[in-house]
Copies of this chain bind each other. A is one copy, B any other.
């Protein structure tokens, strides 16, 4: 399998990206990496690996920055590292696209260059999130912002997409799909969520378990949680913000406390960093722009080499599964039955 890497995307690019790729290259001998970016910066980081056959550097001077307006950047910066990487996937030279760069631009590149699976109207951005307190349990949540507005039909498709991912990539036999809503009872919700509820409930291919409230999001009661892109974006950022604020508060409470609290703080350092680790969902991989003809995976702009490594591990798992082909098949059959 071949992964096209936007080596210039992200706050610590290309260093963190290349170092992460080197970690992954050691572990996964079946992956070939195509690194798009400035060879003057990348080659020194590769060191003696520069001539290895499983790592290829494709030079370009141009890159997309976090300040670039997405659509304009993708259209005008035709030789940007992200654009070239996306084009490699489109042309079959690579099987998946990885970037830590401008999210909006990556979404645009995915949609305009790689393209949607036939039958999917709106791909969604889908992170894999940890279930708090249950070590090896994860769930997927979408859409966290590929779309600013979603229709009931889009949310229904997010349920199908998430369900396929949970089954074929996470290995969950019969994934429980839930709709994020403002009450747990059927009949609750906005006009949008009520209509989405009906579509999800009417789809026999899904193991739909009904509404879930945001309070229960991290408890593991569902394997796939779907909502519109605006709400999903707000909810994901609220999780991040709340966790960050609380960890900060905890630290400052300990540091500004008594001498006893400070010593105690040192003694619970392990526990604190365990909590931080669990919330650091970069270890669970990146967010997949799902619904495209190939996996496009985004990790945090601030990603370090470890986050890059885990995201490559995730992409490898997606490619090793048949999930994209299965989805293509699902929507072909649906089309035939219409």
Contacts and interface: CB of A to CB of B under 8 A. Distances in A.
A237 B249 contact: no
A149 B191 contact: yes
Contacts of A217: 238, 241
Contacts of A320: none
A218 interface: yes
A320 to B, nearest CB: 31
Report how many copies the assembly holds. Answer: 2
A266 interface: yes
B230 A250 contact: no
Nearest to A234: B214
A257 B253 contact: no
Interface centre among A230, A250, A269, A278 (most CB of B within 10 A): A230
A230 B247 CA distance: 28
Contacts of A133: 245, 248-249, 252
Nearest to A266: B264
Contact of A267 (B193, B227, B239, B264): B264
A261 B250 contact: no
Nearest to A257: B271
A148 B192 CA distance: 10
Interface string A190-227: 11110000000000000000000111111100000001
A18 B6 CA distance: 63
A157 to B, nearest CB: 18
A71 interface: no
A230 B190 contact: yes
Contacts of A229: 182
A272 B243 contact: no
B193 A246 contact: no
Nearest to A233: B182
Given A132-B246, A148-B182, A240-B215, A257 B261 contact: no
17 contacts: A133-B248, A148-B182, A148-B193, A182-B229, A193-B230, A215-B244, A216-B241, A227-B234, A249-B278, A250-B271, A250-B275, A257-B270, A257-B271, A258-B270, A260-B267, A264-B268, A265-B268
